[in-house]
Amino acid sequence: MDRSAIFVDAGYFLAAGGSFTQGSSRRGEFVCDYEQAVSGLARLALEHSEGMPSLRTYWYDGAPDAVPTTDHLRIGALPYVKVRLGRVIQGEQKGVDALIYRDLMTLARERAITRAYLLSGDEDLREGVVAAQDMGVQVILMGIPTTQRANQSATLIREVDELLILSEEFLRPLFGPRAADTGVAPGAASPAGASAAGIAFGREWIGNARPDQIRELNAVRPRIPPDLDLQLLVRAEQDLGSLRERQDLKYELRQAFWATIAAAAARLES
């Protein structure tokens, strides 16, 4: 069966995406909705390939001593996502290209995929692209628009089968300013408030659920079913205000909700 896979160089994606949408490539100056980014890229690949199923999304990033950050843990908890970490040494990523090359070669050699969607700009990946193509894999390079100098290697672009530039309409909703820059009053929405909202919604849901429904929901943790997640966010925003650019609060909200569900499931088994 023909399948695709998505390879995301987070260093490129965040720096170029932040620069294009927020005017800064520094991660500390903006936030990214990782859940929406991952699901959006998967949807885009599905549409571009005219329905070819995706094996999974690979997310590559650097971290001090290759120890995952809170963001890495959130991303890794998403369904069909694999996080690969290189190291950050003196502010620069090391080993990320080698991780991408390894996965691309392994999947191509094992005939696990027939198409690769690569979101990166590094010329060092050119040889990996050529090798994958020699094994029958089509490589589609995804890119981010730029109003300044090119943010992708020209030689890399020449080697791939197609260049797919992500639209402004796609990118804008994924990035936003840090909460301190949005004009939200201090204390209007806090992690503690988000936790309380998550607990309240969890208790309300449990009160209307059968024991078997509680067990079934707990079994799919940490992925909240999309319709239930939407209900959770809508209910929380009634008390906390918009959570659109508050990934920290969304995380606390969902964590508190799951803790409430897990506790209820444990009581059923005791």
Are 61 and 147 in the same domain? yes
pLDDT of residue 188 exceeding 50, the answer is no
Per-residue model confidence (pLDDT) at position 178: 72
Q: Please say which residue of 130, 159, 177 terminates a domain.
A: 177
Q: Please say which residue of 177, 204, 239 terminates a domain.
A: 177
Q: Which helix H or strand E contains 119, and what residues bound it?
A: strand 115-119
Per-residue model confidence (pLDDT) at position 181: 43
Instruction: List, in sequence order, every residue forming a beta bridge with 87; answer none if it has no partner.
Output: 63, 94
Are 35 and 89 in the same domain? yes
Are 159 and 189 in the same domain? no
pLDDT of residue 184 exceeding 70, the answer is no
CATH assignment at residue 27: 3.40.50.1010
Are 52 and 140 in the same domain? yes
Are 145 and 262 in the same domain? no
Q: Please say which residue of 177, 194, 210 terminates a domain.
A: 177
**Mean of the per-residue pLDDT values of the chain:** 88
Are 123 and 66 in the same domain? yes
| Domain of 92, in residue numbers | 4-177
The tens digit of pLDDT for each residue in 234-251 reads 888 877 877 776 777 888
Are 114 and 226 in the same domain? no
Per-residue model confidence (pLDDT) at position 180: 52
Are 51 and 151 in the same domain? yes
* Alpha-carbon gap, residue 206 to 166, rounded angstroms: 41
Structure tokens at 135: 């094994």
DSSP state of 58: E
* Alpha-carbon gap, residue 138 to 132, rounded angstroms: 8
* Alpha-carbon gap, residue 103 to 178, rounded angstroms: 33
Are 109 and 169 in the same domain? yes
Domain count, the chain: 2
Q: Smallest Cα–Cα separation from 118: which of 5, 250, 33, 248?
A: 5
Are 147 and 196 in the same domain? no
